[in-house]
Structure 1
Amino acid sequence: MELEIRDVSKTYTNGVHALKRVNLTIEKGMFGLLGPNGAGKSSIMRTIATLQIPDSGEIRFAGQNIFTNPTEFRRQLGYLPQDFGVYADASATTMLDYFARLKGIKNSKERKNRIDELLQLVNLTEHCHKAVDTYSGGMRQRFGIAQVLLTNPKVIIVDEPTAGLDPAERNRFYSILHQLTDNAIVILSTHIVSDVTDLCGDMGILNNGCILARGKPDALVASIERKIWRKTVAREELNQLRNNHKVISTRIIKGDIQATILSDTLPADNFTQSPADLEDFYFSYVPELAV
């Protein structure tokens, strides 16, 4: 079971070249698509979901072009966008029953059993009669996953699912997503590096509509091991450092600025070699906003 994205490009009517010959082959399990806001992540997610047609290229699932018969592919697809609407005052049970009918589950007993199973999976059973528009952000995301799973999709897309969630809700959501990977391709689109670190066995970095890097997170981190150097610096040193070295990130630690440099050798006096992590690899490709 593979999802193949071949030379997909998309330019919008306003002139924005959102996707530039994107190529990816994604297998069963959790795939992380990491990139900053505006990188093109939502564009590729909407294209995979057949909500828009690419200008060129194709996407194939199980060997079939998804745009040849998009209705058939949608039966195998679950899509949780970053923002989704709910009906005012409608309970989780009512809404899931409504969506199950739309998705062709006609037998009332079958619908009830499936809804009960999903509410238990996403830990919303005790809240199932409350209006979804009163749910917290994390509860709404869990409800969204229940909605996505009504018909056991083979491809699941989740777009920026943990943005705005507190740590406890994020961990609950991680747990649910992890349970889905045995039987489906799950594509996690995010700008949060820790989402990919914690969940994904395969990943790609997208920026300015292009795939910049692709691989297993551990292997990507290993490629820059022994090349990461850190030092606490004064703000007035930063410009000179950036002129002379590849400063990939800066962060404030206890009021001081810590600069991180990517270099094969000691870049300057008093820098300390440090273990690399996925955030270092990410920033080596996607420039961080300057402190």
Structure 2
Amino acid sequence: GFYGIVRFDVQVLGPGPTWWGILVLLLGGISAAVGILYAIAQRDLSRFVAYSSVENAGIILIGLGIFMIGSSEKLYPLAALGVVVALLHMLHHSLAKSLLFLGVGAVDHATGTLQMDLLGGLARKMPKTALLSFVAVLSLAALPPSSGFATEWLTLESLMQGFRLSELSARAAMAIAGAFLALAGGVAILGFVKLYGGVFLGRGRSEATRKAKDPSVAGLVGMGTLALLGLSVGVLAPLWIRVVAKATASLTPAGDISGRMFSMWPVLQPAYENFSALSPTLLALALPALVVMVWGAVRIFGG
């Protein structure tokens, strides 16, 4: 569907007035915030996951709105950045949400219920499912070093380029969309902590959880493959960005902007120099090292 929107906008409509992009941008921001607010209110596991997809669809629309605004104002590097982050987030979501839906299916098959009030303690009964589902939750909550962190950081950095726009209304829309994205990100963390804690941690709250067990090897292999691919989008974000940027090079006169997005490999910058930079790859290496250092300090000095 989003691919169709991009093709229709580029090949049929062409660059239009700025308000087209503003409309898409604001609708995306509202969808992201409202979707995750509806999700966190759900008690049914499948409905929670489905409403989370509304949030992520909104984030993709934010990227497409940036693309449309950048094209109308002839800021082609910004336009190219918008479509790259939109498609990269689409890739992240397709992997992480598919993984989580498989985890939800495994829980449903093992317990016969998707009511979070009746679940709990499944990490002891279904440890492999719990571990793989944690990868999906980490990504969808946009926490490092996951794919969701890399794509949402780039989306937010793209919105912060609003000061480069000439129209005041477009600048305001970029700021408002950034506020909606920040709200959605904060609520998403709370929501997925609630989901994972309520389903896999604590104690079982019904008879349904007592005989639960992990799915077959084939099911775990499928989940594991999605988990590894999803982690690669976060840890190896520079490589994936090169692939997506080359695929979208024909959409704007800026062409392949991957060369503009690396101040030095593997450090990412949002298409403009001297603004901000981050390396998801180095962060992914640093976080486990930090955990080991803290654990070692506790062991040495904690008696």
* Rg comparison, structure with higher value: 1
Which has more strand, going by share of residues?
1
Which has more helix, going by share of residues?
2
